[in-house]
Structure 1
Amino acid sequence: MDTEAQHTERDPSSPADPPTDPAPDDGSRSVRVSEEPEEDPDTGSGRDPSGPSWRRTGLLGAACVVFLLLLSHFVAQPFLIPSGSMEPTLQVGDRIMVNKLAYRFGSEPRRGDVVVFDGTGSFVQEEPAGDPVTGLLHDTAAALGLAAPDETDFVKRVVGIGGDRVVCCDGTGRITVNGARVQEPYLTPGDRPSDVPFDIVVPPGTLWVMGDHRSQSSDSRDHLGSPGGGVVPVDRVVGRADWTVWPFGRWTTVTETDAYDSVPAPPAGGHPTGPRGRGHG
């Protein structure tokens, strides 16, 4: 009888000791969870997928800019006030919000409204186009209220509308519109209504505009001898300045004026043409 122990070969992949039966799960065992973060499918890195990726952040930022540009183009646009021609109503550095819907549905500017308009062809002449990339960047910044408006954009107060006869000045030194004397409480203290005499019948579809700081404003008076005759076509009006939104200490609405409430409508047959006044430089 062979008593030599038989050598049994084992599979090297098998455990040295036979596995034991797992203890029954009574719900008290802890389960080890891997602490390694899942791979981000967007970046391929092990970032937490719940955190925003640069791609999503960029797309969100671009969408916000596009939304603001559409809003400023069709509804309301911020404008930076670059000069003191409308003081004290608007100060240098103010950012105003221009309501582009004010005249969009058949309404037209009224006497006393503060409006922003494109002065091309009336206050300034057409100029050759510059660098398109620089122009696009500037226009985008201006549309968001981050840069001064184009040199062709102006903000003034409507003094006369189509058909009105605007004269300066009567015996008391005040402007008259259709023969009615206008008391202008919005003028800069110490300013006279105008140092330049004029007598103008405003053509239909146009506006006679002036700044509130008359001694510092280049307005319709300065362009009487220009091709546009000093008046601004209504279709060049961008919108009505309704709010001052910056700085926060000046956050307010642009107050409406009752200075023109007593001005009568122009006569049906029109005014006799008065002598054209001279502008100042």
Structure 2
Amino acid sequence: MGDLAVGARSGPGGPEEPERPDEAASPAAEDAASSRNAAGPGGTGGSAGSVSDSPDAQNRGDAEGPRDGENPGDGADTAGDDAGGQQRRKQRSFWKELPLLVVIALVLALLIKTFLVQAFSIPSDSMQNTLQQGDRVLVDKLTPWFGSEPERGEVVVFHDPDNWLAGEPTPEPNPVQRVLSWVGLMPSSEEKDLIKRVVGVGGDTIECKNTGPLRVNGKALYEPYVYQGNTPCSMDDQGGQFKVKVPEGKIWVMGDHRQNSLDSRYHQNDKNEGFVPVGSVVGRAIVIAWPPTRWDTLPIPDTFDQDLSAAAPGALGLAGAVPLVLWRRRRLLTVGNPRVSGGGTAG
């Protein structure tokens, strides 16, 4: 009994009969089973058709696998072709859009250079130790468009006012450098620009005596940014000793390396008398961007936080007139009142 296996039922709802191992199914039994399977439960018999003849069966067959004579890999090949075509189209679209992206990038760079920020290279040692030769600084060009003018203590870039750079060599850039300069990614070698610190603005009186300190409207400046070993003022006859009043619309500039800077002091004989027109100012240098080890901001030194404004002539006149008026009024009251003056008769 332990060697017997469960056999097929003889019919719907019929009793199960054990199948003998040594007994093979007869051809008649196989024909009867085929007839029952073809008719199904409750069927009427008749000729047995193919399972794939019914629509439901066909759908099931399509879902389960390919029909006879159909290549099983056709669907996968079609999907692969579609994916490959989409990838090729994406690649072609990128290369078609690349010139447009380059043009947009160039236009944006040009707008940024013209209206926002421009990079400049430091070619000399005149601003040591604040700036070193080879530093790259970013210059704010936006605020001047809104009417902002240079202030005392700012480091500014300005166009050559009157041939200050005469005799300075001009390097010849290659085509790549010309393009990068045009879009503002490199400083232009053709532009004659200088960088100095603003010491005085319109209306200020700037004075240097002996070795200093430098005075603005009579107030001494404490200048820790001056190059170590230099004095704020120079003891030379070419411009180291001076006293000037800055006209409106112009500025007076000096380098932080005072004994190695051909600034306003040494151009007092040009058409601007050493002053720089505000209209020649490109913008304020706000940050050292390169090299990375030199990255730093360029704030206005604290010494310029003190009240350096020049007293207006009208204010000086008023300040001098007030004591005089008070003295005269007191004198008149004293003369006109005997009690106040100490005169009169004893009662």
**Would you tell me which structure has more strand in proportion to its own residues?**
1
For the pair shown, which has the larger CA radius of gyration, 1 or 2?
A: 2
**Please, which of 10, 26, 29 is the counterpart of residue 63 of structure 2?**
26
> Which structure is richer in relative contact order (CA contacts within 8 A, separation 6 or more)?
1
The residue that corresponds to 1:228 in the other structure is 272
Superposed CA offset, 1:153-211 (max 9, x none): 111100010111111125x6211111111111111101122321111111111000011
The residue that corresponds to 1:179 in the other structure is 218
The residue that corresponds to 2:31 in the other structure is none
SS at match of 2:88: coil
- AA aligned to 1:152 is K
Q: Unpaired segments of 5 or more residues in structure 1?
A: 1-20, 41-45, 126-133, 271-281
- Identity among equivalent positions (%) equals 39
Aligned residues: 239
Structure 2 CA distance, aligned partners of 1:66 and 1:84?
34
Is the Cα contact below 8 Å between 2:126 and 2:256 reproduced in 1? yes
Is the Cα contact below 8 Å between 2:161 and 2:277 reproduced in 1? no
Structure 2 CA distance, aligned partners of 1:136 and 1:117?
25
TM-score, reference length from structure 2: 0.61
2:178 equivalent to 1:138: yes
Superposed CA offset, 1:226-265 (max 9, x none): 1111111111111111111111122221132012233531
Instruction: Give runs of ≥4 in structure 1 deviating > 6 Å.
Output: 37-40, 134-137
Q: Unpaired segments of 5 or more residues in structure 2?
A: 1-52, 67-71, 167-173, 235-239, 315-347
- AA aligned to 2:144 is Y
**Would you tell me which structure has more helix in proportion to its own residues?**
2
Cα distance, 1:32 vs. partner?
3.9
**Please, which of 190, 201, 205 is the counterpart of residue 249 of structure 2?**
205
TM-score, reference length from structure 1: 0.74
Structure 2 CA distance, aligned partners of 1:216 and 1:222?
11
- AA aligned to 2:258 is R
Structure 2 CA distance, aligned partners of 1:266 and 1:122?
30
- AA aligned to 1:246 is W
2:107 equivalent to 1:78: no
- Segment of structure 1 superposing worse, 205-214 or 147-156: 147-156
The CA RMSD measured in Å over matched residues stands at: 3.2
Is the Cα contact below 8 Å between 1:167 and 1:176 reproduced in 2? yes
Structure 1 CA distance, aligned partners of 2:185 and 2:213?
36
Cα distance, 1:75 vs. partner?
1.0
Structure 1 CA distance, aligned partners of 2:104 and 2:133?
31
